[in-house]
Chain A
């Protein structure tokens, strides 16, 4: 199952991309651009079919023509933007400014605090859990615990995804 997934996701992206590019939202594409997208989408569908028919994925040399390449590039672009967005969200999570606090303290003439809530929280957690954690690390083999934690989180993610899917139906 794990092997299938990336491919399914990639195929979904392409369908979604076609929908996104055809949508009437600003900025809308000109006629020529739309034709280019449609041509590229069709060529890319053919390429996907061709790729599916290959017995060995190593035989895949990428799309055969320029049209299909456009779509493949757009898929890559989507993934890159998604990664950029993830990173930006991570940064804002860590350096989230405690506005209420800084406003309060600057109003009182104190130094304003710009430390992120998340960073603060992590510091507290480490302070609280450091000594028990050190004991646990000494007692247990870390590799096993991390493996267990990984499978637990995997199960958790799967459960949440399944619930979300059921909810959206």
Chain B
């Protein structure tokens, strides 16, 4: 019983989050950028940590300005 309770509420939440994601994707209007964001979120922890350690440097050096 607990399982079915969990399943239905979790599935509903997942569905609503997915809908929100679709809406934001439509607004961004660039599947490649969205895919990069998705990859980053789903990357393992250590890869995310690397990005975190980068991020300060990239911004302060302003490589693309």
Q: Closest residue of chain B to A16, judged by CB?
A: B55
Q: Closest residue of chain A to B10, judged by CB?
A: A91
- Docked Cα-Cα span, A83 to B32, in Å, equals 20
Interface residues on chain B, size class: 35 or more
Q: Closest residue of chain A to B24, judged by CB?
A: A77
A contacts with B, residue count (CB < 8 A): 43
Indicate with 1 or 0, residue by residue over A43-85, a CB within 8 angstroms of chain B CB atoms: 0000000000000000000000000001001101110111111
On chain A, the residues within 8 Å of B40 by CB distance are: 16-17, 20, 78
On chain B, the residues within 8 Å of A91 by CB distance are: 10, 14
User: A43 to nearest B CB, angstroms?
Assistant: 13
B interface with A by C-beta (< 8 Å):
2-3, 6-7, 10, 13-14, 17-18, 20-21, 24-25, 27-28, 30, 32-42, 48-49, 51-52, 54-56, 58-59, 63-65
Known A15-B59, A25-B36, A119-B3; 12 more pairs at CB < 8 Å: A15-B58, A16-B51, A19-B58, A20-B40, A23-B36, A37-B33, A38-B65, A76-B24, A77-B25, A77-B28, A87-B17, A95-B7
